[in-house]
Amino acid sequence: MTEPAATAVVLEDSERQPCEIWTRVMGYHRPVASFNIGKKGEYDERRFFREDRAGLATRAA
């Protein structure tokens, strides 16, 4: 039995559902949409750490 060919699903913007982004703030999780303008600015300025780029994942103990 053969699998049917995959077809790409194309959605209009009106059919999409917005994604709610949550982040950890002061020890608990909150949705970014509920932040005030200052906290949203701080969130936008964050830098995300990646172990593999820092070379920590390959270091021997």
pLDDT tens for the chain, 61 residues long, are 677 778 888 989 999 998 999 998 778 899 999 999 999 999 999 887 777 777 766 655 5
Cβ atoms of residues 37 and 45 within 8 Å: no
Q: What pLDDT, on a 0 to 100 scale, did the predictor assign at position 32?
A: 92
In whole angstroms, what is the distance from residue 57 CA to residue 50 CA? 9
If we measure between CA atoms, which residue out of 14, 45, 50, 16 comes closest to residue 35? 45
Q: What pLDDT, on a 0 to 100 scale, did the predictor assign at position 37?
A: 94
Q: What pLDDT, on a 0 to 100 scale, did the predictor assign at position 52?
A: 77
Q: Looking at the DSSP assignment, which residues form a beta bridge with residue 25?
A: 28
